Structures are given as C-alpha cells and as structure tokens.
Structure 1
Amino acid sequence: MKNLITTTAIGLMLALPAAAETKTDVQVTSPTDSAQVTVEQGSANDTFFKAIPHSISASGMIGKRVYVSETAMDPSKAVKAADQNWEDIGEVSDVVIGMDGNVDAVLVDVGGFLGIGEKTVAISMGSLRLIPDGDTENAYFVVVKGDKAMLDQAPAYEGDMQTSWADVSETEAMKVNNSAEAAMHKAGDAAKASAAAAGQAMDNAAEATKQAASDAADKTKAMAKDAAQSTKQAANEAGQAIDEAADKAGAATKEAAAKTGSAIDDAVDSTAAAVGQVGQASAEDGQQVDIASVDPDVLRGEGVYGPNNDKVGDVSALVTGSDGSVQGVVIDVGGFLGIGAKPVEIDTNQLTVLQDNHSITVHTGLTEEQLKTMPKYEG
C-alpha cells in the first residue's frame, strides 16, 4: 500500500506544469559521473511527457535489494549477477521527494529478522549506483559504496512517513487481521470456559467421593457385619463418579483444544489468503517468465500458490545442475511460521513464474496435500 501511495504522490508531483519549451534538458549529476538527458514532451501546452529516456519509476525502485560495496562501481558496465564482494544490506521501502520535486533520498530497511529489530536509514540518491543487470533487460542492481560498519553507525530515519491516502487493499487486510484476532480471543475464552467446567466437574467428583467415604464410615459403625459390603459399594460408586468426571474433563479439554486449533488455523489461513491475494501476480495481469531469468535472491522466500490460488508453501532454496542452471526449487510445505514445515523438491517444469509491474509469483498445479505426500528433500 505504501508503495502505491508513494508512486501516486510522485506521479502527481511530476505532473506539475513544466517549462514552456518543447524539449527540456535535464542535468543528472552524481559524485562520479554525469549525463545529459533530453526529455521529449508531447503536448501543445508542454505539460505532459511523451517519453523520458534513461529513467526509472519509483514503483520499480521500491522493494529492490540494496548492496554495499567497499569499492566504487562503474554504472556503465553491466554485471550478470550480484558481485560476491557485495553485501546485501536491506530493501528500498520508500522514496523521499523534496518540495522542489527532486528525489532527495531513498529509505532502506536494514538489519533485523522478519521486520523485527530493523531500522530505516535514508541514503542520498547521489550516493547510489544503479548497475545494469547483464542477464535481464531493463533490470539493475542498487549499490552504495561503503561497508557494514557505516550502516550500523548511520542514524535511523525519523522523518514523517505518514500519508493522507488510504489503500483499499490494506484496509481489507486489516479487517481480516482484526477478524483473525477476534477469532483467536474467542477461542481462548472458550478454552478457559471449558477448563473451568472441567475443574468444577472434578471438584464435584471429589465431593461425591468424600460423601461416599463418610457414608461408608457411618454404616461401618452401625452394622459391622455389612460394613465391608457397604464400603465396597461406596468405593465402586466413587470410582465410577471419578471415571465419569475424568471422561467429561478429557472430552471438554479435547474439544476446547480442537476449537482453539481450528480458530488459529482459520485465522492464519484467512490472513495468509488476504495478504497473498494482495501481493501476487495474477494470470490475467502477470506475464510468464523463465525461472532462470529471476534473481535467486528475489525468488527465495516467495510464496508458492496451488491450482485454486491457495498458498501451498514458500520457496526456501534453488536446486541447480552441474552446469549451474536451475533444475528445480525446494518448497517448505505445512508448518506454522516456518516451524515444522516439510521441504520438498519440485522440478521447474512443474512451476509457472508470473511477473507484473509490482511482484513475482510462483504457481504450481500441485495441491498442498499432494506436496505433503512427496519425499522430504535431504539435499
């Protein structure tokens, strides 16, 4: 949602009236190089651009991995893969535009795990180098000169990143999350109530046992001859009462646990489905691409969707042949937040990779049940 809002804001700012000339010369300057770019405008009032050569969109920048290199890079030379001396430091989360319409900096989320413990730093646009990807047309690597220590010492960005627009998709996702949280609370309340009922049943059984023992003692004093029989009968009744109470308590606990587990599963499935539908490239809007053309760092961690667009797992690793070509992928199936998941290997001919302007999505014709029956990947 934030990406869409930022792109919309950039579009509005760039749509402001420009100079009244047919062609506008824009000087792009960085610490190591400069380039003269001619922008062709295509309307009588010089407001709209027909084309802007050698340019990138903010939506294309947001989400890109950012690498740090101790050596300076030449933007005129393409590379076919991320340099082994580069270090992946994080991901572009936003673009900061000044009131003059110029891009001042990009915001990069660095450090942390699953968004926990990370911080956002603002890196000036002039410090970034966009290195062309030699394997993919119109693709590039984002590199900044420096080292990891530089980022550790960099101050966290404290600018106001709030916006006044609301994204329908995020609103719907928040509704799903709220619904999931309510379901989990409801399941927890049901479990507490069932546990309380089980405790009361056990207390009643203990009281019945106590009463039966007391009756047995009275009968022993009154009729010694019948004491043994009465005591045995009382013990049998007490034992049966305890057994019944234990059975009721066990059944209530099992039912509560089943309800709790079902509520959690429904909540997680609903949340995953909502988030997955927001971020995945559809068959109508996405374009099928060769899996070998996708950056491995981008492919790892991507969700895999089954025949009904239900998420069936996540890509955890790539399987390559002796010649370095991608032969298949390893998908983690089942589990909860990655815990208890089963890794299985799928050949590339059983996968379809779709790409649109915002995301890459992996699809397969196999269901989650079919994947769970496959042998565990031991590679």
Structure 2
Amino acid sequence: MNTNADAEASASTQQNWAAGWNEGLDQQWGDVADRRIADLIGMNVISEAGEDVGEIDNFVILDSKLQAVVGVGGFLGLGEHSVAVDLENLEYDGTQMIVSMTEEELRALPEWTEELEQTRLAEDDTFRTRTGTEGQMTAGTEMDATQTETPTGEDVARAEEMSNEEGETETEQLAEARQGEVEQEAEELAAEAEMTAEAAGDELADAAQATENAVENAAAETEQMAENAAAATENAAEEAGQELAEAGEATENALENAAAETEQMAENAAAATENAAEEAGQELAEAGEATENAVEDAAAETAAVAGAAAEGVSDWMEKLENEFADIADMRVNELEGMPVLTASGEEIGEIEDLATQNGTLVALVGVGGFLGLGEHDVALEMNRLGWNGEAFVLDGMTEADLEAMPEYDRDAVTIIDDDVTLSEHASM
C-alpha cells in the first residue's frame, strides 16, 4: 500500500477545494459535492417543518466560510429577502435543500448584497473542484479576467427601439458604436490576458486568444443583429402604412353606415312617439273615467262608514246610560281584573285594560293561562259585552272561540288612563 502516494493525491484534491470546504462538509454534502454549482442554483429550500421558505440563488465564500445565498419569500423575484446561510445549517434530501431555520428566523438575518466583500463560486465549479474562474467581488465589482461581455438581448432591444424612432441610419451608428466598444474591451482584455499569459504560461495565452475570438464573434453577431433590426423596422413601417390606410377606409365606411342607421333610428323614434301619444291620450281618457267612478265609490263607502260609526256611538251611549249605569262612573283601574263570563256563567277571561282601536272603545281580555302565563290576549268591542251586576258577560262565544281570535296588535291600540271613568271617556 502506497500511503504517501494516497496522501499526496488527497492533499492535491483538497488544495483545489472551494475555500471554506472541509472534511465535515465533504461528508455531509457527499451526494452533491461533485455536482456543478449551476445545477444547485434555483433548488427549492424548505424548513424542517416542510414549509417552502425560498430557493438557492448562489454560493459564495464570505468571512472565510462557504455559504449559500438563499432568496427568502417574494414572488417572481419581487419582495425577496436574500441572506447568506452557512452550509452547516443546510441539508440535501435528494431533491431539495432543508434549512434548520424558520422563514421568520431567515428574514431576521442581515440581508446579503453583492456589495459585500466575498468570492462567488463559478457555475462550472463543484464543492470539491475549482475551475479557477471564481469571481472576487469587492464593492460590487467583478474581477474575473476570463469573463467577457457579450451582446445581450437588452442591447438588441435597444437597437430595435432606436431603429423604430430614428431610422436605419441611427441603427447602423449604434451598431458601429457598440462594435467599437466591444473591440476596445477586446483589446483591453487581450492585453491583460497577454500579460497574465507571460506570467502564468501557455494556458492563459490560449484563454486570451479564446477571449479575443469570442469578442470578434460577438461583434460580428451584434452588427448582423443591428442590420436585421433595421430591416425589420423598415418592413414594419411599410406594413403599418398599409394598415393605417385600410383603417382609414374602414373608419369612413363605418361613419357612413352609422349616419344612415342614426337617420333610420330617428324616423322610427318619431313614428313610435306619435303612436305613443295617441295611445296615451286614449289611456288618459280611460283613466279619468275610472278615477271619477272610484271617487264616487269612495264617497259612498265613506258615508256608509260614517253612518255606521255614528250609529255605533249612539248605541254605546244608550248602553252606558242603561245597562252600564252602575259602572259608568268607575275608573279604568277599578274595572281591571273583573271576570268575563259566558251566557251560561262560565268564566272565560278577565279584563286587563281598556283602550281605543280605530276610534272604538275596546276591552283587552286575557283568555286562559295561569297567573298571567300562557294567556291569549284579544280586543273585544265594549258594545259586545253585557253587565250582570258583578261581571261582564259575552253572549254567543265560548273560550275556544276567543282563543281562535287573533291577538290584538299592541301598536294599533291606545290605552286609556287608569283614572278615567267610562262616562268621562264617552264625553271626550
């Protein structure tokens, strides 16, 4: 067994580990230690209770520790709170990351920003193997000699917008300016790469050449994209002109049709108004006749009611002077509690109060019940009651008949004061 050779191989491998990676983490994260960082970015992060708390945004070396940048909460990147979490506080379950903290505890951590002094792992790195392309970020500036800027979709969109507003000439000027910027950046990167190659060897020289080639290719692609954008702008302008002409013609036709329809609608409305006026005249005549008939009927009914009321008052005064003569001067509170009997002498209720209802004097009688519980209260006209010298008598009705009557509406009666006598009330 070549122990020295194995130790040297292990040391060689460890020398290429990401900073902050150690034997403990290598055992804890063995399942993903050889996966590319790019494969781990975007992975879901849950709490130990199984609740979604965020996702992995990046891996950085911060304060000499290897940490995961976790985006907590938010929606589509909005409202997200980014924090740096030590890998010791994370665990991989085969499909996602589990953090030993709740979402509230994560939100309480200081927010991570690119302004912090840190080193970011490259997307092609693994935890065990460094590609040598880690980005050192200080105050938000990336120091990566092998990283080049290529034209983005934003550049193309800006070129298309310039083409739409200023025309093909400005688009070509933009492409030339962009090409000049790219070539200038290529020259600076190539010079820097050449100096690095002299110090580091042929490998960096090859990287510088690759960078220069990539920049040249990017410049060519940018120019081609600008030309395509100019051509697309010209075609769009021609199509827009044709569409505007067609739209103008369609608008003119629509206005003519609308004018004709409006004229027809006006004629129809005039005819309908004339017909409605004729019908309204007929209906008014009929309504007048109906009103006249209703007034005559109402007058006849009013006269009948008035006659009946006058007759009722006359009957009550006669009864008060004769049958009720010995109780005419009794106050209301003296009559309360007196029994109400049937013609056969059976007690069916008692007087609870006297009141007026629709201008008529009524006795409020409690039927049935015990000690005031379960009573059925009805209103009986005083004209229907008789007096036998000791109690009121109700001829022609039984207790069952009274219980079948509806109870009186307390809001529809007016209670007579306890100190008023029957005679005094009759003279009011």
TM-score range, shorter chain: under 0.3
Name the TM-score, length of structure 2 as normaliser.
0.21
- With the length of structure 1 as denominator, give the TM-score of the two structures: 0.23
Larger RCO, structures 1/2 (Cα 8 Å, 6+ apart): 1
The structure where strand makes up a greater share of residues is 1
- Larger Cα-atom Rg: 2
Higher share of residues assigned helix? 2
